[in-house]
Structure 1
Amino acid sequence: MTEPVPQPDIESLLAAAEARLSGSKPKFADLVVTNPATAIPQEAEGKKEELAVREVESAAKKQSKTDKADTAGPGWYDLPKTNLTPELKRDLQLLRLRNALDPKVHYKKQSLRSQVPRYSHVGEVIAGPTEFFSKLTKKEKQNTFAQEILAKEKSNGRFKAKYGEIQVAKTSGRKAYYKKVQATRRGK
């Protein structure tokens, strides 16, 4: 790590920074007048004398910074940076939209544009002996989270029924409704 800077050095650095900032005036500062009675024209000082040499970080330093940033740190047991695969992206989207999966379960409201977590890791939960009656049966087990949801939908048909309800609501009172009225009039 870096060594702490002594107090007199900090004060001298701050004084030098204030001097540089106070000297950096716009090129046409003497032309801008806010109050003509009290304005005093100021001379543009040479800016070239005050410019410092800019140091560019080496590629090795940048690489070491990115290596350090690949984990969440020791406080989080070095949780790795999220490796966003299409499967993980789909699973995260399903978790975000879980309110639509079961109408009887209510979850805490989240923003619709929730971000992908910066650090995460996908694992497998190993059920203990006390969870025997709450675990999924062999028929219900699938390879991925998305496949489990689709299998559950096939068994209860909730998505299909919900889609039908939405379509009925969309077509009533609109063009389709008007066409039905016209057809009944012509048939009479």
Structure 2
Amino acid sequence: MARIIDLFYRLLDLVMILLLAGMAVMVFLNVVLRYGLNSGIPVSEELSRFFFVWLTFIGAVVAHRHNMHMGMETFVAALGRRGRMLMMGVSDLLILGCSWVLFLGTWKQLPINASMTAPVSGLSMAWVYGTGMFTAVMIALITATRFLRLVTGRITEDEIAAFAGERHQFDETPASGREGGAQ
């Protein structure tokens, strides 16, 4: 199961790379065409904006998986193990609540936006606004899984350290081994 999840996040990484590359190519090409030929590709402006929205929302999911969002790390790092676990639980419940609000808001807005089309490309605006639903569901799944491990006592010390900002979950070396250069 862990391998499937890792493959899914690698796929998200690949999608983000493609979105960023697509944005760069479209914007660069438009600049060259406008400067050199006094023309442009109108759809590229619209699509690059859409790509940016998708990149941001997918990036939020990937960042959440690695505990890279802003937090009160100075406060949490000063706490002991029990305090960190309590703060992790409170944080997880707040994140689940915010994810629910994002999902519900997107759910209510999606039918309205699905009936509208983008002016140049003609794409349904549901493709743009629907990313909120994807993000809400994915962040809620990540958080609910972590919260379940927390309340059942299966949370790892690495996860607690990552929550406190002592290391990121994708780091290969332990936090104590970084300073001395040991691997």
Output the TM-score relative to the length of structure 1: 0.23
As a proportion of its length, which structure holds more helix?
2
Q: Which has the higher contact order (CA 8 A, sep 6+)?
A: 2
Larger Rg: 1
For normalisation by structure 2, the TM-score amounts to 0.24
